[in-house]
Structure 1
Amino acid sequence: MSFILGIDLGTSSVKALLVSEGGEIVGDSSQEYPIYSPSPDWAEQDPEQWWESTIRAVRKAVHQSHIKPSQIKAVGLSGQTHGTVLVGKSLLPLRKAIIWMDQRSIAQTRWLQQRIGKRLSRITGLPIATGFMAPSLLWIRKNEPGIWKKIDQFLLPKDYIRLKLTGNLASDVTDAGGTLLLDTGKRKWSPEILQKLEIPASFAPPLYESCQVTGKITKNAAKAIPLKEGTSVSAGGADQIMGAVGNGIVEPGRVACSIGTGGLVVTPMDHPQVAPDKGLHTIPHAIPGKWILMGAILSGGSSLSWFYKQVILGRGKTLRSENSYQSLFREVSPTPAASKGLIFLPYLKGERTPYLDPQARGAFVGLSLQHGRRDLTRAIMEGVVFALRQSLEKFKELGIEITSVTTWGGGAKNKLWRQIQADIFNLPILISPTQEGSAYGAAITAAVSIGIYPTIKEACREWIKIKGEVLPIPENVAVYNKAYLIYRGLYSKLKDDFHGLSEL
């Protein structure tokens, strides 16, 4: 029997998923790695730690599944998008990777907005934001000229894993779609943008569609990781797009929501509909000739993680197990909707959709002596979903009809958070068959790349079966609609104060 390996290089961990030809998960594992913040608002990771963690995750998944490496016929890659990995002629990293959460390039984003803002967004389909590759490259050129002179290629995070597996420098159109350097309609690097930003075209790696083969496992890689030399590696894609594939979001009208480190909502389109003025991203889909419209928030599950680790446990203490989070959720369950009049703004790393404001700051609004830990926890969960509702509202403004939302990621694992999504969105929530949707989607692209299925749509029809449905509770919907109106008005009232505080 043959199997497919999906690898998802996330923000906090890498996940390895082994899947049978029929779509059954037979092995899975994850390995964590740190985020480094050498200066305030910086966020970096070590590409070599990604690779070491990937080796461990794949070894564990293969051991767990009791299959032979020779039975794994293809590998698909997914990864955190927007980040910047720089390699020299030796194909080794020149510095730590600047990842999507990084806020250091505020000056560069302002320069981009002033010089070619509207034209840039029309070509790329993206709003201009910190953490994207283009402003990060501009920051490096200004502040690290020695590094800039040594650059041979830039890569997206998952593409460094591809390099280690195959020895090839390559990327895919979905991940390139988050760099601010891609012509999203043409699905090619934009010569106009590269020229205007004075970024050498030679820095950009070759681009592939998600289901194309980009290389084979090398002899050296096969010595380090339990994969057979010569095994195919597909292009794969950005984690948001692979998550959409892994949840069957391949037809217009389907909408999915993920709460991981950040949070996002996505929907497919037959044509690129560009709306950066609404804070929305237009990115090539993994299906050739299709696109994804996406709204994104920067602090989703990380808001809850911050509260648990920094406030409840205290700085320097470590999370003992996933059960610790579950005990927190159980404690919250009896609390009423809208947390007794308490609202949380999840802008702990600034915000993307709809505000595009790296200087926005988090806040609890409405605190009183009646509020305890469980109320604050629920307010955080609700605040994250309120933020995601703003993206859904932007979809509706573009004429997109939404009848249900498929949920995946960490926010889909918890029954209460699923119910909060149903109540705040006032929509049925469909439960994904796997919460590792991005790794599963990467496995689908790999299965298609070697001909197990002719298309992504056919693979999704065979592999993906919705597990269940959560319906809105009318009483909660009424409460949340009132609270949302207050939530939506808070940013504009606090914006100037956020900016003042960020400059202290």
Structure 2
Amino acid sequence: MLLLGIDIGTSSVKVCVVDADTQQIVTSAQYPDEESPIISLQPGWAEQSPAMWWEQMQQALKRCHATGTYNPNDIAAIGIAYQMHGLVLVDKDQNLLRNSIIWCDSRAVEIGDKAFDAIGHDKCLSTMLNSPGNFTASKLAWVKANEPEVYAKIDKIMLPGDYIAMKLTGEITTSESALSEGIFFDFKNNSIAKQVTNYYGFDESLFPPVHPVFSSHGTVLQSMAGQLGIPEGIPVAYKAGDQPNNALSLNVLNPGEVAATAGTSGVIYGVSDKLRFDPQSRVNTFAHVNYAHDLQRLGVLLCINGTGSLYRWTKNLFGTTIGYHQMNDEATQVPLGSNGLRILPFGNGAERMLNNKLVGVHLHHIDLNLHTRAHIFRAVQEGIACAFRYGLDIMRENGMNPTVIRAGRSNLFLSRLFTETFVNVTGVPVELYKNDGSAGAALGAGIGAGIFTSPAEAFSNMQRIDVVEPSGSAMEPVYAEWKALLDRELLIN
């Protein structure tokens, strides 16, 4: 029996096929080979076309089929992971009304700030555990205010993964986890947050039916089955945002367990059993994939918008012929501290952990006679690791004190230098696993379809690759100088 996992990322779409008996990947593919474009019509704006995600998913699935390593008719369930917080709008005929305003778009910051003040900080934080901020609710309010002709045609609002599920099944659903990531969920009343819908003037008919994360979100249409070469009638049995899904794929489900990822964005995500919030909403709390009214499992999320995206930008700056492995190798030839070069890695929209400020990327102390591209490669990795430390300290203020962090050996964690720098600047060991977001989505589908009796069974063959322990405090003075530079920029902003 096989499970199909789909991961709708910002840079690409990845699809994998997992053997339910062994929980191992049979094959996987992504599309496109280079990073997907982000449409930025104005500074701070970021959009993508959901039709592009659908096309990319089909192309990635074709690549999987082309390997000939499995029989597509053996696929029994589908799981979907997706970039969080994006706004997708369709009319009553399920036609797209505009591009998706994606997670790193900053146009709604002021709208969210005004809502936070008007509704009341205490009320927002005690019931929704977050400020409306720059999340999906505020993006929808921006459309209502600035594109009334579009808003008038909306039948349903969705997140990116909901759109792919809709294309597969013809059905539109949401979950309490998804509502919480849009700041549409009231944790005290376990309901849609009326304080937000009333303030913004949203009709609750815009929201799809609420289903559990691990459940059927519709079954594959006959027309889609023929088009995609998969069985008709199999369920989409799991949908979750990429960061809760990354945590699931690392078997991070219980209080105190913590996951990290450093892809396009960088995230530390810890599980709590308490309705806890940051007074400044610099880190955010959402319903985890296994949240239930009688079993509170909350995901506390720290996000840095531009981690892998900064490393990709650096790669492109020096020519597309340079590979990431070569960049990592060159970076290791430079001493710790990059001979004084410091980089602030905040160039991908307003940063929640910096109170939604647009700080940008800054290079400090460039010496034209000393610094080479290898220094920049290392300084980028050190700057990103320092940003993780800054965010982790905020999480520590809010009661999240990890003794170990789990991460998949992918993206920046493929770099031994980055992993060691991360460990030494945070002071927390990292366990590396053979992990993949699309594989996590596939296993989530197995749970949702009842193929596995529990998450423990789904991850019984989980493979740990390595453990990296802290090896000293040499990064402390580097971090102290980096933080002083950031503090200066925050005062300017």
Instruction: Tell me if TM exceeds 0.5.
Output: yes
Identify which range, 9-18 or 423-432, moves more after superposition: 423-432
Q: How many residues align?
A: 482
Alpha-carbon contact 1:26-1:65 (below 8 Å) kept: no
Residue of 477, 482, 485 corresponding to 1:487: 482
Residue in 2 aligned with 1:268? 271
Quote how far apart the aligned CAs of 1:59 are.
1.8
Query: Counterparts of 1:351-370 in structure 2 under 5 Å?
Result: 351-369=350-368, 370=370
Quote how far apart the aligned CAs of 1:96 are.
0.6
Identity of aligned residues (%): 27
Alpha-carbon contact 1:349-1:358 (below 8 Å) kept: no
- 1:337 is paired with a residue whose SS is coil
Residue in 1 aligned with 2:90? 87
Deviations, residues 63-118 of structure 1 (Å, cap 9, x unaligned): 32522221000000110010100000110110011001111223312322321251
CA spacing shift, 1:350–1:40, aligned 2, 3 Å? closer
Residue in 2 aligned with 1:502? none
Quote how far apart the aligned CAs of 1:351 are.
4.4
Could you list the structure 1 runs, at least 4 aligned residues long, displaced by more than 3 angstroms after superposition: 184-188
Residue in 2 aligned with 1:419? 420
Amino acid at match of 1:470: V
Alpha-carbon contact 1:127-1:279 (below 8 Å) kept: no
Quote how far apart the aligned CAs of 1:359 are.
2.1
Residue in 1 aligned with 2:390? 390
Superposition RMSD on alpha carbons, in Å?
A: 1.7
Deviations, residues 313-364 of structure 1 (Å, cap 9, x unaligned): 2xxxxx35xx712111111112111211222111102443421224212111
Residue in 2 aligned with 1:75? 78
Residue in 2 aligned with 1:316? none
Residue of 288, 291, 295 corresponding to 2:302: 295
Structure 1, unpaired ranges of 5+ = 314-318, 500-504
Structure 2, unpaired ranges of 5+ = none
Deviations, residues 291-325 of structure 1 (Å, cap 9, x unaligned): 1111111111111111221x212xxxxx35xx712
Whole-angstrom CA distance in 2 between matches of 1:400 and 1:37? 35
Alpha-carbon contact 2:178-2:241 (below 8 Å) kept: yes
CA spacing shift, 1:65–1:432, aligned 2, 3 Å? farther
Identify which range, 374-383 or 159-168, moves more after superposition: 374-383
Alpha-carbon contact 1:246-1:442 (below 8 Å) kept: yes
Whole-angstrom CA distance in 2 between matches of 1:385 and 1:129? 25
Residue in 1 aligned with 2:165? 162
Whole-angstrom CA distance in 1 between matches of 2:260 and 2:208? 30
Query: Counterparts of 1:374-385 in structure 2 under 5 Å?
Result: 374-385=374-385
Deviations, residues 225-252 of structure 1 (Å, cap 9, x unaligned): 1211001111320100000000111122
Amino acid at match of 2:465: K
Identify which range, 356-365 or 370-379, moves more after superposition: 356-365
Quote how far apart the aligned CAs of 1:458 are.
3.2
Deviations, residues 375-408 of structure 1 (Å, cap 9, x unaligned): 1111111111111112221222233332111122
Quote how far apart the aligned CAs of 1:187 are.
4.7
Query: Counterparts of 1:293-442 in structure 2 under 5 Å?
Result: 293-309=300-316, 311-313=317-319, 319=320, 324-369=323-368, 370-408=370-408, 409-434=410-435, 436=436, 438-442=437-441
Residue of 133, 140, 150 corresponding to 1:129: 133
Whole-angstrom CA distance in 1 between matches of 2:485 and 2:306? 17
Residue in 1 aligned with 2:106? 103
Whole-angstrom CA distance in 2 between matches of 1:341 and 1:149? 54
Whole-angstrom CA distance in 1 between matches of 2:209 and 2:336? 50
